[in-house]
Chains A and B, each alone.
Chain A
């Protein structure tokens, strides 16, 4: 099973989880199709079909960008640019915009 899937015990299954594979019953028949969104009722029915674990899609949490890492990298990328050099305002503006972009800052329209 690839990285974007995981097997969870039925006791840990929660409504809203998405099946990453089709679910077969003990006779090998398809019980639920891949992509099915689990509900309370479906989870409750697992016991009847003697299902102990279910394959679900791993939810990729949106990670906030790491400001320190972004700034450290920009420091390297812009090493030929001097923040205090007024003649290089265009380079410094580009740097600021890329930083805002990487850190997903809201900018005024």
Chain B
């Protein structure tokens, strides 16, 4: 399989709800007008309910409970609300019945843990926490491309990886000719994600590459922390390589790290309860 074949196949992927596509397209714009979008979201009751539960979770510490998307926009701001709508709609996308070796629950748990940790880290680094959350949530989306597009082959990849306790990316490349980082990158382009988001998805395994961007560093370390805290609930969990360049760039003391772990676990518990209900 080549990248071209993969890209051609992206057309067949289940598309995201139109609302989410619009949200992702404007993720970097501080001043995007979401009034119209709020109305569209409000038409989807399940999506609205999930979004509001997230908005009212302790992560955001709102004094007043919000009951409409419009209120969430007022109290949380455009960035945070957009981020919540996106999280609420994307988790659970991609049915994966034809690839039994793929543990989609563990996948989403890890994605949410990475998102929570990226958000916590971003606040320490004075980086936009909402963008970091989204990047954390979507960093492994290439795996969903492979699961959806090539379920049987990917099932074999996962079984082989499990059997020899191999490196997932290497096994993917050896057996499929592409890996999930490449697939994620192709999807991010196909879905017209913002540049920042695309770079984070493309470079989260190599954050020290020139031009990778600081978001890739945050997501790289957040993912390592999510694995190390064992939050996916996956028996064969393994902590990936931790880039010393990325680790140094964050420059946190041990005390700060332990605080990051605590906050990550708290936000993770609350968010999985809402998103994976």
| B93 interface contact, C-beta 8 A | no
**A90-B243, A90-B247, A95-B228 known; A80+B238 contact, CB < 8 A:** yes
Distance, CA A94 to CA B258, complexed state (A)? 10
Q: Is B169 an interface residue (CB 8 A)?
A: no
Contacts A100-B258, A107-B254, A109-B255 known; A94 to B238 CB distance under 8 Å? no
Q: How far is the CB of A86 from chain B (nearest CB, A)?
A: 10
* Residues B30-57 near A (CB distance < 8 A): none
> Which A residues touch B246, using CB under 8 A?
90
Say whether A107 contacts B239, CB under 8 Å.
Answer: no
Residues of A within 8 A of B240 (CB): 80
B227 at the interface (CB under 8 A from A): yes
Q: How far, in angstroms, from A93 to B258 measured CA to CA in the complex?
A: 12
Contact A100 B228, beta carbon cutoff 8 Å? no
Whole-angstrom CA separation of A78 from B240 in the bound complex:
8
**Which of A80, A89, A91, A109 has the most C-beta atoms of chain B within 10 angstroms of its own C-beta?**
A91
Question: How many chain B residues have a CB neighbour from A under 8 Å?
Answer: 25
Tally of A-B Cβ pairs under 8 angstroms: 62
Tell me if A77 and B228 are in contact (CB < 8 A): yes
Per the bound structure, the CA–CA distance linking A78 and B225 in Å amounts to 12
Q: Which residues from chain A contact B224 at a C-beta distance below 8 Å? A: 91, 94
A25 in the interface (beta carbon within 8 A): no
A77–B230 Cα gap in the complex (Å)? 8
**Closest A residue, CB atoms, query B237:** A77
User: What are the residues of chain A within 8 A of B243 when measuring CB–CB?
Assistant: 90
What's the tally of chain A residues with a CB closer than 8 Å to chain B?
Answer: 22
Q: What chain B residues lie within 8 Å of A95 (beta carbons)?
A: 228, 239
A97 touches B254 (CB 8 A): yes
Q: A80 near B258 (CB under 8 angstroms)?
A: no
User: Are A78 and B261 also in contact (CB < 8 A) when A89-B244, A107-B255 are?
Assistant: no
Given contacts A93-B247, A94-B224, A94-B228, contact A77 B239 (CB under 8 A): yes
B241 part of interface (Cβ distance < 8 Å): yes
A72 CB-CB contact with B under 8 Å: no
Q: Give the docked Cα–Cα distance between A81 and B125 (Å).
A: 27
Write out the residue numbers on chain B whose beta carbons fall within 8 Å of the beta carbon of A77: 227-228, 230, 237-239
**A89 — nearest CB in chain B belongs to which residue?**
B244
Q: Which of B224-261 contact A (CB under 8 A)?
A: 224-225, 227-230, 237-244, 246-248, 253-255, 257-258, 261
Given A77-B239, A80-B241, A81-B239, verify A94-B225 contact (CB < 8 Å). yes
> Can you list 28 contacts pairing A with B, beta carbon distance less than 8 Å?
A73-B230, A76-B237, A77-B227, A77-B230, A77-B238, A80-B238, A80-B239, A80-B241, A87-B244, A88-B241, A88-B242, A88-B244, A90-B242, A90-B243, A90-B246, A90-B247, A93-B247, A94-B224, A94-B225, A94-B228, A94-B247, A95-B239, A97-B254, A97-B258, A98-B229, A98-B261, A100-B254, A109-B255
10 more A-B residue pairs beyond the given contacts A77-B230, A90-B244, A97-B257, with a C-beta to C-beta distance below 8 A: A77-B238, A78-B228, A80-B239, A80-B241, A89-B244, A91-B241, A94-B239, A94-B247, A95-B239, A97-B254
